[in-house]
Every structure is written in structure tokens, then in C-alpha cells.
Amino acid sequence: MEIDEQKLKEILKGEREEYQRATQVYIEHSDSNVKAVAEQYLGLSKKVDGLAHDMRAGFEKINQELDDVKRTGEATFEQVGTLVMKDTEEQEVLKNHEQRITKLEQKN
């Protein structure tokens, strides 16, 4: 079977059109995949930013607590004793229901 030039042009034209359709489908599919990856990246980026913010806040809190510990470590024996006595007195007041209510009313 011989193929003349006209028949060959028709075959090649059909193949080219099919190739163009397949390429267009591939491009559309790739575009949707790129968009999906971009959306996921943005979501992950927001999560990472949120985690970084939370971590900074946590580190600030830890630093504040370490400063408190340092100040407590530098407190004199008398200062610590006063704080312990004050805390003990407040706990005793809170154990008694009526004294606790009176204390709360005084605050308001």
C-alpha cells in the first residue's frame, strides 16, 4: 500500500491535531496541579507562621518565668519568709468559708 503526498498530509494533520489536544489537556491538568500545590503551600505557610508566633510567645513566657526564678533566687531569707507567711495566711482565710466570702466582698 502506497501513500501519496495528499494522504500523508491528511494523516499528519490528524496526528498534529490529536497531539495539540493531548498537549492542551496535559497543560490544563498541570495548571490545576500547580494551583493545588500553591494553595497547600499557602496553607502550610500560614500554619508555620502561626507556630512561629506561638513559639515566640512561649519563649517569652519561659524567659519571664526564668527572670522570676532569678529574682526569687536573689531574694533575701527575710523576703522569702514574709512571702511564705503571707501565702499561709491567705490559705487559712480561704479554708474558712465565711472568711473567704468576706475577703471576696472586700475586693469588690
Q: Where are the domains of the chain?
A: 1-74, 76-108
Using DSSP's 3-state secondary structure scheme, residue 53 falls into helix
- Is the predicted pLDDT of residue 108 greater than 80, yes or no? no
- Is the predicted pLDDT of residue 34 greater than 90, yes or no? yes
Q: Which residues contact 103 (CB under 8 A, 6 or more apart)?
A: 93, 94
How many Å apart are CA 40 and CA 46, to the nearest integer?
10
How many Å apart are CA 43 and CA 32, to the nearest integer?
17
The pTM is what?
Answer: 0.42
The number of residues making up the chain comes to 108
What percent of the chain has a predicted confidence (pLDDT) above 90? 44
- Is the predicted pLDDT of residue 25 greater than 90, yes or no? yes
Taking only the tens place, the pLDDT of each residue in 43-92 is 999 999 999 999 999 999 999 988 887 877 776 767 767 776 777 777 77
**Which H or E run includes 59?**
helix 5-73
The answer to whether the beta carbons of residues 103 and 93 sit under 8 Å apart is yes
How many Å apart are CA 104 and CA 96, to the nearest integer?
12
